[in-house]
Amino acid sequence: MKFGYLYKEAIRGFANAKLSAFASVITITLSLILIAIYFLFTVNSNRIIKNIKDKVEIEVFLIDDIKTDELNTLKEKLKAVGGVKNIVYVSKDDAAKIFSEEFGSDMLDIYDYNPLPASYKINLYDEYKTIDRINRIKAQITNLPQISDVQFPEKNLELIESKTTGFLFINLIIMVVITISSIFLVSNTIRLIISSRSKIIETFKLLGAKRSFIMIPFLIEGFIQGLAGSILAISALYLFFTVFVSKFESTDLHFELLGTDIVLYVVLIGVTLGIAGSYFSVLKYLKVQN
């Protein structure tokens, strides 16, 4: 029976201050949309970076007259270099095939012999995929007599490396700004609502209400506001993405949009914002005198 009364008290609170309750729901909604956009931005940028990095490999071109047993000893030597995940051998014929697949014309139509060298493609572990480390590996192997040339997509790595630090920094700033402004906005709107009910809090106190009796209806209200805010935010994002998603779908990068995990995070953060906002605002009123 007690919880029933406290729940009624919370609903009464809503009815009392319809406009400010609405304002607080909207504030939570906006905060959640910001947080969700930030989250999706981060997830997808990381995905792009990962995508570029995944394609980074070292191509070790071999001299034409390499012998079969030399091939194997060379492979062992290359494996011994630190950070190697796997090594794939691409023969001269394979290289010609790949070329004709990529460019649509056959090598042998242009030349009367196959000019493409055989190669080893070295895939490194992610943490070795930096210009610095690859250059060190390159220095180790480039003078081996069976090797004609060593190449890797230095430009792509340069792009990632120059942008990553800046990206992390900007990301951090955005996160801090969003978090602080959400908490500030939400607790401010909720404080407005609660100050309009300071007389009720005061009267409850004087009639012998315990802190929990005063607090719980506001927490229930905060919970409902958070839930409503999350549902609105998710609906807004869903609408936005169904309109815009077709534009992304043609690109080969697969963007992560509204997955279950982000929906769950949004609800969790929304409800937390609502409850925490209520809690801290009521606490201020309870602390006055006793």
**Could you list the residues that contact another protein (CB under 8 A)?**
1-2, 5, 12, 15-16, 199-200, 202-210, 213, 289-290
> Which residue's CB is nearer to another protein, number 67 or number 199?
199
Q: At its nearest, how many Å lie between another protein and the CB of residue 206?
A: 6
CA distance 102 to 239: 39
> How many CB atoms within 10 Å of residue 58?
24
> Which residue's CB is nearer to another protein, number 104 or number 208?
208
Q: What is the 3-state secondary structure (H, E, C) of 209-221?
A: CCHHHHHHHHHHH
CA distance 98 to 89: 13
Q: At its nearest, how many Å lie between another protein and the CB of residue 207?
A: 5
Q: At its nearest, how many Å lie between another protein and the CB of residue 205?
A: 8
> Which residue's CB is nearer to another protein, number 191 or number 205?
205
Q: Are 152 and 59 in contact (CB under 8 A)?
A: yes
Q: At its nearest, how many Å lie between another protein and the CB of residue 5?
A: 5
> Which residue's CB is nearer to another protein, number 217 or number 270?
217
> Which residue's CB is nearer to another protein, number 199 or number 247?
199
CA 187-191-197 angle, 5° bins: 150
**Given the structure tokens 């394979």, which residue do they identify?**
94
Q: At its nearest, how many Å lie between another protein and the CB of residue 204?
A: 7
CA distance 148 to 140: 14
